[in-house]
């Protein structure tokens, strides 16, 4: 019997999903405004978040609810390691650190893994389905905004999943087949909304850096404009003896 968990998650997180898309950092990203320093901090946070999630999923792969949605082909941490080496260099492990909001996110995943592992389904759904759904678009935005080639965007490539649309359909069918009752479905949906909130907190942390960077860019552009204008005025001014 189907639990209709996939539908419950989709319908139950619509508001949270919209709110996440309207966080300033995300809105700027979707419009192609991406500042490399802020972005690499997000990649570093994701490295720790996915590390916690994927370790928990692997540890509970025999769990009746968690096990069926443990798909090794979704694992993101190795791809994030490649991106971190690109953005920070070979000593990236010594360079990166987890932000306060990232720490809160990681702690929540670890708490759930210890106390209510079935709620890991919510965290997996929130991250992986989002990555699969918008990954290619976000990859192109990042490449264009930061003048990247194929390096620095490994996070968005699911090399072991040749057909992302078919995989997402399989993932949703698997969600519906999980042995969960109505109360557990509700708890998973609530946790998914909490996961969206944790993501939003990480994005909001980066807004200050992004606004500062945009301000510097605008200042530099205006300064260059004034300098050009001053030069043009000098060229147009009548010669004096």
Mind listing the pLDDT tens digit for each residue in 27-55?
Answer: 888 888 888 888 999 999 999 999 999 99
pLDDT confidence of residue 171: 97
pLDDT confidence of residue 239: 46
CB atoms within 10 A of CB 78: 10
pLDDT confidence of residue 193: 97
Structure letter (DSSP) for residue 240? -
pLDDT confidence of residue 121: 98
Q: Please report the domains of the chain, with CATH numbers, ordered by start residue.
A: 5-205 (1.20.910.10)
Residue-averaged pLDDT of the chain: 88
Residue 2 has pLDDT above 80, yes or no: no
Q: Quote the CA–CA distance of 8 and 21 in Å, as a whole number.
A: 20
> What are the residues whose beta carbons fall under 8 Å from the beta carbon of 116, sequence distance 6 or more?
187
pLDDT confidence of residue 234: 54
pLDDT confidence of residue 92: 97
Mind listing the pLDDT tens digit for each residue in 191-232?
Answer: 999 999 999 999 999 886 655 555 544 445 566 655 555 555
Structure tokens at 19: 């709110």
Mind listing the pLDDT tens digit for each residue in 55-97?
Answer: 999 999 999 999 999 999 999 999 999 999 999 999 999 999 9
pLDDT confidence of residue 211: 56
Residue 235 has pLDDT above 60, yes or no: no
pLDDT confidence of residue 240: 41
Closest of 189, 234, 195 to residue 52, by C-alpha? 195
> What are the residues whose beta carbons fall under 8 Å from the beta carbon of 178, sequence distance 6 or more?
3, 5, 65, 68, 69, 121
Residue 183 has pLDDT above 60, yes or no: yes
Mean pLDDT across the stretch 182-199? 97
How many angstroms from the chain centroid is the CA of residue 1?
Answer: 33
> What are the residues whose beta carbons fall under 8 Å from the beta carbon of 160, sequence distance 6 or more?
72, 73
Residue 157 has pLDDT above 80, yes or no: yes
**Rg (alpha carbons) of the chain, rounded to whole number:** 22
Mean pLDDT across the stretch 111-137? 94
> What are the residues whose beta carbons fall under 8 Å from the beta carbon of 20, sequence distance 6 or more?
26, 196, 199, 200, 203
Residue with tokens 């004034």: 226
Mind listing the pLDDT tens digit for each residue in 170-180?
Answer: 999 999 999 99
pTM of the predicted model as reported, rounded to 2 decimal places: 0.86
């Amino acid at each position: 019997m189907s639990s209709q968990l996939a539908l419950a998650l989709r319908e139950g997180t619509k508001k949270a999903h919209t709110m996440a898309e309207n966080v300033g950092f995300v809105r700027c990203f979707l419009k192609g405004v991406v500042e490399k320093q802020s972005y690499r901090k997000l990649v570093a946070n994701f490295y720790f978040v996915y590390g916690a999630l994927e370790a928990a999923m692997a540890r509970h792969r025999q769990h009746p609810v968690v096990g069926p949605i443990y798909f090794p082909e979704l694992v993101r941490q190795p791809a994030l390691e490649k991106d971190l080496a690109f953005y920070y260099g070979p000593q990236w492990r010594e360079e990166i650190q987890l932000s306060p909001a990232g720490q809160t996110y990681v702690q929540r995943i670890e708490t759930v893994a210890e106390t209510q592992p079935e709620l890991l389904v919510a965290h997996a759904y929130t991250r992986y389905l989002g990555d699969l759904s918008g990954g290619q678009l976000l990859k192109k935005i990042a490449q264009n905004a930061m003048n990247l080639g194929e390096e620095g965007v490994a996070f968005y490539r699911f090399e072991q999943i040749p057909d992302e649309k078919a995989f997402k359909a399989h993932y949703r069918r698997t969600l519906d087949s999980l042995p969960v009752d109505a109360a557990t479905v509700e708890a998973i949906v609530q946790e998914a909304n909490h996961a969206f909130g944790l993501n939003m907190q990480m994005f909001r942390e980066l807004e200050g850096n992004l606004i500062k960077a945009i301000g510097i860019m605008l200042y530099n552009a205006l300064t260059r404009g004034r300098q050009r204008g001053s030069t043009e005025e000098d060229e147009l001014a009548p010669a004096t003896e």
